[in-house]
């Protein structure tokens, strides 16, 4: 049973036309097959707590916006509220599973709250079971995970609770992929995994800047580097920058944790991963402005993609948000198209990132199109901000015919065939690729 306080969200999960509140490939099929059989959605939080043996706490843990640790530390307000509600409601012993991404030793705080508020003869066991699902492939990741990580206290009751959760996963996950570790190791492992994945992206993006300056090709460099079995090819694709709900939040959390533990050098190391990501977005914006004759004031720019990655409608920390903000500051006229992001979400994101602008002011510079072709109509430049497959399959000859000339394309996702677009007539700028040095030119 999935419970939420938001009635509208639960209504969407229960909708007869399966208009689910989030987009994820394969998710609708799963809900269609299981809803009403062994999958239920409800706002009856207390009833679900009473009935459950295992309770997964899967609430949001955003970065704090004010107070101590603002901009770095995780806001655990929702975790604490959920924990207190479990303690207040439960009348029998429960296994409480920490599913949200949280700072190391959060489980200790949860256990303190539960024990201080528990009823007689009611015991709570705390487990850490971080999720490693990637948006866009979440259903496949759940059904066939690389590993399932379960952390517990190394006491008899802790190990007993751990085994209970292992038995749940063992219904479809081979036992050798279920890793059992200490509680604190499990909490830190989630932060470490996301930090190291983001580190790889920032590393290849840093190299993309060198490629653009030297005439090297980042695709070729990444392919060559990825052939080293010690490195491997994954997460070596240059882009305009990483986004999503986890990477930046978890790295900043790690920075705050390091500094709290009096490890400033460690914090500075991880902070640089985020700083490189922001630099990549600024650098991309500069490249667009420079190519368009040093100014984009009053010029129409089409932004294709607003989600932080393909196959999701999630816009959290999306590079497109930052790009639009920068283009607005340069007084450009922007048209956005994304096949999955709701228009209301786009307006909400732009209002939040540009608090000095009212929504009315934003709409003077920004519009939202219902198709990629419409977005590109009369534009002077097209920016690929999300790697949706439909953008690679666009009728680019029609796009070219309906654009102002010279027509520019800026590929921030290494998605398009640069040679083909150049042949059509576009002036193409691809991230991680500089101008080729003519043969015979000696440096």
Catalytic residues: 246
Where helices occur in 292-386 by DSSP H, the ranges are: 319-329, 343-353, 359-365, 372-376
Under 8 Å between Cβ of 292 and 408? yes
Q: How far, in whole angstroms, is CA 283 from its chain's centroid? A: 21
* Coil, helix or strand at residue 211: helix
Under 8 Å between Cβ of 134 and 314? no
Under 8 Å between Cβ of 90 and 125? no
Q: CA angle, corner 189, sides to 188 and 191, nearest 5?
A: 65
Task: Tell me the sheet residues that pair with 2.
Answer: 41
Q: CA angle, corner 349, sides to 131 and 336, nearest 5?
A: 110
Dist. CA 413–CA 135, nearest whole Å: 17
Cα distances from 295 to residues 138, 283, 290, 320, in angstroms, run 41, 15, 7, 19
Burial of 297 from C-beta contacts in 10 A (0-12 / 13-18 / 19+): exposed
Q: Residues in the chain, how many?
A: 443
Where helices occur in 261-318 by DSSP H, the ranges are: 264-291
Where helices occur in 144-182 by DSSP H, the ranges are: 156-169
Under 8 Å between Cβ of 2 and 44? no
Burial of 251 from C-beta contacts in 10 A (0-12 / 13-18 / 19+): buried
Q: How many helices (H) and strands (E) does the chain have?
A: 18, 13
Nearest Cα residue to 58 out of 138, 3, 106, 115 = 3
* Coil, helix or strand at residue 41: strand
């Amino acid at each position: 049973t999935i419970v939420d306080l938001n009635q509208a969200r639960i209504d969407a999960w229960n909708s007869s036309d399966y208009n689910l509140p989030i987009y994820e490939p394969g998710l609708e099929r799963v809900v269609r097959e299981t809803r009403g059989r062994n999958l239920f959605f409800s706002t009856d939080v207390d009833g679900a707590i009473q009935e459950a043996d295992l309770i997964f706490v899967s609430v949001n843990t955003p970065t704090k916006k004010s107070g101590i640790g603002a901009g770095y530390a995780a806001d655990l307000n929702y975790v604490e509220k959920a924990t207190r509600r479990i303690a207040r409601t439960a009348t029998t012993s429960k296994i409480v599973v920490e599913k949200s991404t949280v700072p190391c030793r959060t489980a200790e705080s949860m256990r303190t709250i539960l024990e201080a508020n528990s009823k007689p003869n009611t015991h709570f066991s705390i487990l850490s079971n971080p999720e490693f699902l990637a948006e866009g492939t979440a259903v496949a990741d759940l059904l066939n995970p690389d590993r399932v990580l379960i952390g517990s206290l190394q006491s008899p009751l802790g190990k007993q609770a751990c085994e209970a959760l292992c038995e749940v996963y063992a219904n479809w996950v081979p036992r050798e992929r279920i890793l059992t570790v200490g509680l604190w190791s499990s909490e830190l492992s989630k932060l470490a995994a996301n930090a190291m994945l983001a580190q790889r992206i920032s590393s290849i993006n840093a190299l993309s800047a060198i490629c653009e300056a030297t005439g090297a090709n980042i695709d070729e460099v990444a392919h060559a580097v990825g052939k080293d079995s010690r490195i491997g090819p994954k997460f070596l694709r240059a882009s305009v920058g990483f986004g999503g709900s986890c990477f930046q939040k978890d790295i900043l959390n790690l920075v705050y944790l390091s500094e709290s533990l009096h490890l400033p050098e460690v914090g500075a190391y991880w902070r640089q991963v985020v700083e490189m990501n922001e630099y990549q977005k600024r650098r991309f914006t500069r490249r667009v402005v420079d190519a368009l004759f040093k100014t984009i004031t009053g010029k129409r720019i089409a932004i294709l993609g607003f989600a932080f990655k393909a196959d999701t409608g999630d816009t959290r920390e999306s590079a497109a948000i930052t790009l639009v903000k920068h283009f607005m500051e340069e007084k450009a006229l922007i048209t956005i198209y994304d096949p999955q992001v709701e228009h209301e979400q786009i307006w909400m994101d732009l209002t939040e990132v540009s608090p000095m602008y009212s929504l009315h002011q934003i709409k003077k510079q920004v519009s939202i199109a219902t198709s990629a072709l419409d977005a590109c109509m009369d534009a002077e430049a097209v920016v690929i901000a999300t790697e949706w497959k439909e953008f690679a399959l666009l009728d680019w000859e029609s796009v070219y015919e309906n654009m102002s000339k010279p027509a520019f394309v800026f590929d921030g996702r290494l998605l398009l065939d640069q040679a083909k677009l150049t042949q059509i007539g576009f002036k193409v700028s691809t991230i991680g690729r500089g101008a080729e040095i003519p043969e015979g030119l000696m440096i």
